[in-house]
Amino acid sequence: MWNAGWFPPAWIELDLGKDTLVTGIRLMPSQVPNVARTVHRIYGRANGKTTEILLHEFDGITSDGAWIAATFDPPRRVRYVRVDTVASPSWVAWVEIAVVATGLEAPNFLPEGYHEGSTSGVAAGALCQAYGWASDPDDRTKDLTVRILVDGKDVWQGPARDFRADLREAGIGDGTASFWVDLRGLVSRGVPHEIRVQARDLQTNAWVDLSQTPRTLTTRER
């Protein structure tokens, strides 16, 4: 985690140790407000040089904790990579920055998403639900499998592929990454249950907890 401690303009520079053929970059912003238009310019500089090369410019909607990525065309041989934020309503901060380079194994990014349902702790009727979204930063075109665990028992599995306009606006692929599950019939009424939502990683098949999970839910008739 890196935080500039103030609003733009602000930048951070990465030293790769030697001139390296870089092919892309992935960044996870930390920002408030959660969803907003931001502008970030990625520069590269070779060892011993003072002149920078503009590798890419991000100009669009970003959201807190959601990866953004770019492929450099053409790739450039540089030692230093600088991320310069020139516009944002938030303090400038990054949870993680990953430079993709030739000869290095591409990093695997785990699924990201939120368990957004069952927020009150007590729910009745149709409000007894689990919903949210899940997406794999490695390939946002593919639907992830989500599963729901009730008190540690797997009670439901299915794809996160429903459309939400807010996800598309936040840059989560084309927005088809949400899910909604009616928990009636999957949990007993009148007692608290731990509801945990996980997504399966495309590369490793490992199950990964979504943000804001688990939640405790008690259901009632009305």
pLDDT per position as a tens digit, 6-63: 999 999 999 999 999 999 999 999 999 888 999 999 999 999 999 999 999 999 999 8
- Confirm or reject CATH 2.60.40.10 for domain 112-220, answering yes or no: yes
- For the chain, the domains span 2-101, 112-220
Look at residue 120 in the predicted model and tell me its pLDDT: 58
Look at residue 122 in the predicted model and tell me its pLDDT: 73
Under 8 Å between Cβ of 65 and 170 = no
Look at residue 118 in the predicted model and tell me its pLDDT: 58
Mean pLDDT for 99-128 is 76
What percentage of the chain exceeds 70 in pLDDT?
Answer: 94
Under 8 Å between Cβ of 63 and 95 = no
Under 8 Å between Cβ of 216 and 193 = yes
How buried is 18 (Cβ within 10 angstroms: 0-12 exposed, 13-18 middle, 19+ buried)?
exposed
Count of H-run helices and E-run strands, the chain: 1, 16
pLDDT at 119 > cutoff 60 = no
| End-to-end CA, the chain | 45
pLDDT at 103 > cutoff 90 = no
pLDDT per position as a tens digit, 168-214: 888 788 999 999 999 888 888 888 889 999 999 998 999 999 988 99
Backbone angles phi, psi at 125, to 5 degrees: 55, -130
pTM of structure:
0.62
Mean pLDDT for 152-168 is 94
Least confident piece of the model among 71-80, 81-90, 113-122, 213-222: 113-122
Under 8 Å between Cβ of 137 and 95 = no
Rounded distance, CA 70 to CA 124, Å? 45
Look at residue 109 in the predicted model and tell me its pLDDT: 80
**Span 2-101: which CATH code?**
2.60.120.260
Q: How confident is the model at residue 140 (pLDDT cuts 50, 70, 90)?
A: confident
pLDDT per position as a tens digit, 83-102: 999 999 999 999 999 999 87
Q: How many CB atoms lie within 10 A of CB 204?
A: 10
Under 8 Å between Cβ of 102 and 18 = no
Q: How confident is the model at residue 124 (pLDDT cuts 50, 70, 90)?
A: low
Under 8 Å between Cβ of 210 and 147 = no
